[in-house]
Amino acid sequence: MRPTWVAGAAMSRFGRLETTGREAAAAVALAALDRAGIEPGKVELTVVANAFGIAERQAHVGPLLNTALGIPQVPSFTVESACSSSSAALHEAFVHVAGGFQDVVLVVGFEKLSHLGTLAATSYFAMGADYPFESANGATFPGLYATIADAHARKYGTSSEELGAVAIKNHANGARNPHAHFQKEISLATYLASPVVASPLRLYDCCPFSDGAAAVVVAAAEAVPHPSAEPAVIRASARAGDVGDIHDRESMTSLAATQTAARAAFRQAHLEPREVQFLEVHDCFTIAELVALEDLGFFPPGSAGKATREGVTARDGTLPVNSSGGLKAKGHPVSATGAAQVVEVFEQMNGLAGSRQVPHAEVALTHNVGATGSSCSVHLFSRR
Amino acid sequence: MESKRTGHSIEEYRRGYAEEHRLRGFRSGCGFVTATWGLLCPRCGARDLEEQPLSGRGRVVASTVQTVPAEGFVNDAPYAYVVVELEEGGRITGWIPGIRQPMEIPAGARVHWVSSPRAGVQFEVDYSPREEPPRSGGATPP
């Protein structure tokens, strides 16, 4: 494999898009290329993620994006892996570039669901679960993660205060991120007063339904002799899968796909968890962040909640987690999320993160989960 | 190699609990039991999945009370969504109407499946006198 970079990355503000998803996606794609200093004409492949494009009555959107970017002749395809769609797209781009098939590949992830009502949006999210064996029995997406939270609490005593610490931290980070859906801090009292959605998960345990778009330019190092920005070197790109239904897995308190992908990524990068300086993890629900930190190898099982309450994972802690605000505060436009995590890494490594800048931004990890853990991507990055 | 599996389809599974008063499952050679449809065992890869009638009796190992309902359950909220470890092994999911608070389903609560024309696999908390009362801390989550 040859050295492969994230040469540029950009995102829209997450929240509610006034334009179509397609327009937002083309705009961030051009912004990412501009940050990389790469003309659209250099792109050799576009990999798109737009799991719920059907909500906008649009499929096969890659050629439309390429046409808008003035490169209609460039091949494209769409990757679907539920909430991990754009990290799966990034993995495909990495394989193509590192393998020598293309020099420059554009990754674009986007979603627009806000024009649907809450019930319809909830139903779309639930499509990532196993309909006849989970959803048809009454499970919502928060409900499925709530069973993980309940099992985790029964086994380790995970408390509301520990879940709340994740929400409070990520809202504090989101308040400093101009891209974030929610840019306000919350208190423990606010968290505890929020209504229960699916016990033990409250409203403030849940990420919002967001619209948004994010793009990443993946390029061979040798194809960018004079980069416009400090590239994030892709040290590892690993994916893993697991049994689709939570209840059929051996463990309900950890995600085996995260553990498998993390092991593969650290092996690929010749890195260890202690060398990672900041990370973006998949916190679609607060419990998901705690489980992720345990499965990735940063904390022993059952101890991430305590570490979060102690401030270890705060922006100024020893291991900043979700400096962007995470899915929880930055928002979760399904297929934009994985790419947006990489935007945060790129901005941190380029010193562009403003008041949310972490003290050490040399080595980073991103973790993006599809559905309830049946798909997972882990990427490792470092500065040159 | 041809599968020895002679099992049911997803539609037969649904018709089983919804119309035929039977809860259908599979048992793999490794002992794994599930109601979830598949051709090979997700644990050991074995092809020889056998039909395993499910009793629908077991203990709750994880649960949630949903105040925001799923599609098809709009008029039922709040209700419980539960993961049940069956007496014969394996876990299945279902819902329990009329549950308003998590404390109504303590750890390890015994439940039984009730055949219902309503959507989904429906359980009731088992208050039968022959059953032991649920003990605090009951079943250990997987």
> What is the C-alpha end-to-end distance of chain B, expressed in Å?
33
Query: What is A235-382's CATH topology?
Result: Peroxisomal Thiolase; Chain A, domain 1 (3.40.47)
pLDDT band at B9 (very low <50, low <70, confident <90, very high): very high
d(CA A111, CA A328): 16
Are residues A198 and B66 in contact, defined by beta-carbon separation less than 8 angstroms?
A: yes
> Which of A130, A148, A154 lies nearest to residue B36, judging by beta carbons?
A130
Q: Cβ of B42 and A248 within 8 Å? A: yes
Say yes or no: do domains A4-116+209-223 and A235-382 share a fold. yes
Q: Look up the ipTM and state it.
A: 0.94
**Range list of β-strands (E), chain B:** 23-27, 33-34, 50-54, 57-66, 79-86, 91-97, 110-114, 122-125
Task: Give the pLDDT confidence score for residue B141 in this predicted structure.
Answer: 64
Q: What are phi and psi of A9, to 5 degrees?
A: -160, 145
- Report helix angle A85-98 to A337-349, nearest 10: 60
Specify whether A207 is catalytic: no
Place of tokens 């389809």: B9
pLDDT band at B129 (very low <50, low <70, confident <90, very high): low
Tokens of A215: 């793009």
Query: What is A4-116+209-223's CATH topology?
Result: Peroxisomal Thiolase; Chain A, domain 1 (3.40.47)
According to DSSP, residue A136 is labeled G
d(CA A197, CA A310): 26
Task: Give the pLDDT confidence score for residue B134 in this predicted structure.
Answer: 47
Name the pairing type of β-strands A363-370 and A278-280.
Answer: parallel
> What are the domain boundaries of chain A?
4-116+209-223, 235-382
Alpha helices in A218-255 (DSSP H): none
Instruction: Give the predicted TM-score (pTM) of the model.
Output: 0.96
Task: Give the pLDDT confidence score for residue B138 in this predicted structure.
Answer: 46
Is a pLDDT exceeding 90 seen at residue B106? no
Q: Which of A122, A134, A194, A247 has the highest number of chain B CBs within 10 A, making it the mutation to test binding with B?
A: A247
Tokens of B94: 């279902």
Q: Which of A140, A155, A285 has the highest number of chain B CBs within 10 A, making it the mutation to test binding with B?
A: A140
pLDDT in tens, chain A (384 residues): 999 999 999 999 999 999 999 999 999 999 999 999 999 999 999 999 999 999 999 999 999 999 999 999 999 999 999 999 999 999 999 999 999 999 999 999 999 998 888 778 877 888 889 999 999 999 999 999 999 999 999 999 999 999 999 999 999 999 999 999 999 999 999 999 999 999 999 999 999 999 999 999 999 999 999 999 999 999 999 999 999 999 999 999 999 999 999 999 999 999 999 999 999 999 999 999 999 999 999 999 999 999 999 999 999 999 999 999 999 999 999 999 999 999 999 999 999 999 999 999 999 999 999 999 999 999 999 999
pLDDT band at B119 (very low <50, low <70, confident <90, very high): confident
Q: Cβ of B62 and A138 within 8 Å? A: no
Domains and CATH numbers, chain B: 10-54 (no CATH), 57-125 (2.40.50)
> Which of A154, A198, A253 lies nearest to residue B107, judging by beta carbons?
A154
Task: Give the pLDDT confidence score for residue B93 in this predicted structure.
Answer: 97
Give the three-state DSSP class for A347.
helix
d(CA A56, CA A68): 18
**Which sign does the torsion angle of CA A147, A148, A151, A152 carry?**
negative
